[in-house]
């Protein structure tokens, strides 16, 4: 997966992308360690890109002798009970660290505590857990919700909004939703007239939006969570309704549709998401903890943003079917941990 230069100055300042760093002496302490990824869902392009990034970076780390193993495991049903059982199996299999993209912020806490009590390092990312013994890595998802409403306001857009949410019960969905509703509460010019769960998947989003469009008044803009923007656009098209301003989520098909509409009729919008390569950040954090490094319990990654000015470059750098991405090197993570301290 190619790396791109992101539009946000804050992101550019935080990261200097490059080749995988040479392993420092500290990493020799982890050459016999085993790190596993527990993932609850793989049914959209973001999760597929996330797993691909994990596989790419961890295979190189294993080949270089940084760690002994780093397999990934994905549950089949996206159920917290199933993922809890998966984590318990990892405990029995003797993994030294478990990296988790969690189905629920709370329902896995019992299994996570069992892992910690067994001396296993637990690092949650994207879908984080609330168990105090675990480490948490996420973007400011509430801000991601707020920035959508702020963008609509900056454009002078007023009126009815449709909110397309993600997977019900997952930390990410709850946080972005809270950001959207909090921002709307501050702006009387907006009213959320409909809300559906698109599961961060284009086909589901199109189906769910299509099901309620006939009941909705005119919609000025759509707040989304990523992986759903293109499906939303297709739903409005199929219903013969004017296309609202749809906030996008950095998926390649969304960006391609945006460019097509921009070139045809000067359509304008914005796009933002967490980079799927957050999994690689979490991997290196787990490796650093195993090596003895002191790491903050909570770390925040920058939001990956695509604007009108960076649309063409972002689309060119993103594989078909994938997501705008950043993959982290060991050195970058070591440096960011030092800054976080």
CATH fold, domain 9-139+275-304+320-340, is: Rossmann fold (3.40.50)
Taking Cα atoms as reference points, which of 307, 291, 338, 309 lies closest to residue 24? 291
| Weakest-pLDDT range from 59-63, 107-111, 335-339 | 335-339
Q: What is the Cα–Cα distance from 299 to 286, expressed in whole angstroms?
A: 13
Q: What is the Cα–Cα distance from 65 to 30, expressed in whole angstroms?
A: 8
Q: What is the Cα–Cα distance from 84 to 99, expressed in whole angstroms?
A: 13
Q: Please state whether the predicted TM-score (pTM) of the whole model is above 0.95.
A: no
Q: What is the pLDDT of residue 78?
A: 85
Q: What is the pLDDT of residue 155?
A: 97
Eight-class DSSP state of 189: T
Residue 222 pLDDT more than 90? yes
Q: Do 232 and 205 touch, CB atoms closer than 8 A?
A: yes
Q: Backbone phi, then psi, for 121, in 5-degree steps?
A: -75, 130
Q: How confident is residue 340, by pLDDT bands cut at 50, 70 and 90?
A: confident
Average pLDDT over the chain, rounded to whole?
A: 92
Task: Give the DSSP H/E element, type plus range, for residue 122.
Answer: strand 121-125
Strand order in the sheet with 190-197: 190-197, 159-165, 221-223, 245-246
What is the average per-residue pLDDT within 8-19? Answer: 34
Distances (CA, A) of 14 to 18, 53, 326, 328, 332: 13, 20, 12, 11, 9
Please write the tens of the pLDDT for every residue from 14-56: 333 333 333 343 444 899 999 999 999 999 999 999 999 999 9
What is the average per-residue pLDDT within 95-101? Answer: 98
CA atoms within 13 A on the CB side of 332: 21
For residues 239 and 4, which has the higher predicted lDDT (pLDDT)? 239
Taking Cα atoms as reference points, which of 33, 108, 115 lies closest to residue 283? 33
**Residues in CB range of 110: below 8 A, 6 or more apart:** 84
What is the average per-residue pLDDT within 76-84? Answer: 93
User: Would you give the end-to-end CA distance of the chain in angstroms?
Assistant: 30
Q: How confident is residue 323, by pLDDT bands cut at 50, 70 and 90?
A: very high
Q: What is the Cα–Cα distance from 328 to 37, expressed in whole angstroms?
A: 16
Please write the tens of the pLDDT for every residue from 113-170: 999 999 999 999 999 999 999 999 999 999 999 999 999 999 999 999 999 999 999 9
Token pair recorded at residue 335: 């440096």
In terms of phi and psi (left: phi > 0; alpha: psi -120 to 50; beta: otherwise), the region of 268 is beta
Q: How confident is residue 77, by pLDDT bands cut at 50, 70 and 90?
A: confident
CATH among 3.40.50.460, 3.20.20.450, 3.40.50.2300, 3.20.19.10 for 141-273:
3.40.50.2300
Q: Enumerate the domain spans of the chain.
A: 9-139+275-304+320-340, 141-273
Taking Cα atoms as reference points, which of 55, 54, 44, 59 lies closest to residue 227? 44
Q: Do 190 and 156 touch, CB atoms closer than 8 A?
A: no
Q: What is the pLDDT of residue 23?
A: 37
Asked if the domains at 9-139+275-304+320-340 and 141-273 fall in one CATH topology, the answer is yes
Q: Do 91 and 112 touch, CB atoms closer than 8 A?
A: no
């Amino acid at each position: 997966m190619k790396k791109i230069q992101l539009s946000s100055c804050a992101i550019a300042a935080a990261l200097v992308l490059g080749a995988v760093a040479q392993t420092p002496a500290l990493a020799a302490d982890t050459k016999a360690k085993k790190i596993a990824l527990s993932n609850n869902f793989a049914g959209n392009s973001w999760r597929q890109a996330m797993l691909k990034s994990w596989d790419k970076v961890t295979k190189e780390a294993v080949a270089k002798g940084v760690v002994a193993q780093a397999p990934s495991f994905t549950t089949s049903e996206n159920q917290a009970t199933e993922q809890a059982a998966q984590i318990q199996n990892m405990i029995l299999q003797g993994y030294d660290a478990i990296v988790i993209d969690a189905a629920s912020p709370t329902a896995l806490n019992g299994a996570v505590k069992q892992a910690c009590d067994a001396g296993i390092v637990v690092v949650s990312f994207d879908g984080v857990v609330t168990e105090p013994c675990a480490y948490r890595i996420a973007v400011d998802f509430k801000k991601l919700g707020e920035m959508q409403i702020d963008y609509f306001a900056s454009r002078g857009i007023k009126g009815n909004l449709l909110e397309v949410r993600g997977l019900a019960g997952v930390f990410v969905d709850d946080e972005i939703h809270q950001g959207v509703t909090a921002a709307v509460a501050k702006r009387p010019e907006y009213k959320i007239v409909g809300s559906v769960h698109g599961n961060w998947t284009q086909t589901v989003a199109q189906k769910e939006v299509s099901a309620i469009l006939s009941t909705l008044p005119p919609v000025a803009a759509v707040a989304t969570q990523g992986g759903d923007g293109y499906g939303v656009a297709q739903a409005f098209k199929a219903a013969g309704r004017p296309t609202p301003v749809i906030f996008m989520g950095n998926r390649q098909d969304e960006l391609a549709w945006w460019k097509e509409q921009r070139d045809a009729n000067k359509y304008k919008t914005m796009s933002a998401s967490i980079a799927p390569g957050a999994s690689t950040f979490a991997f290196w954090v787990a490796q650093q903890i195993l090596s003895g490094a002191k790491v903050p319990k909570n770390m925040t990654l920058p939001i990956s943003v695509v604007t009108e000015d960076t649309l063409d470059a972002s689309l060119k750098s993103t594989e078909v079917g994938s997501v705008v991405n950043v993959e982290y090197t060991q050195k970058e993570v070591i440096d960011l941990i030092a800054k976080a301290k």
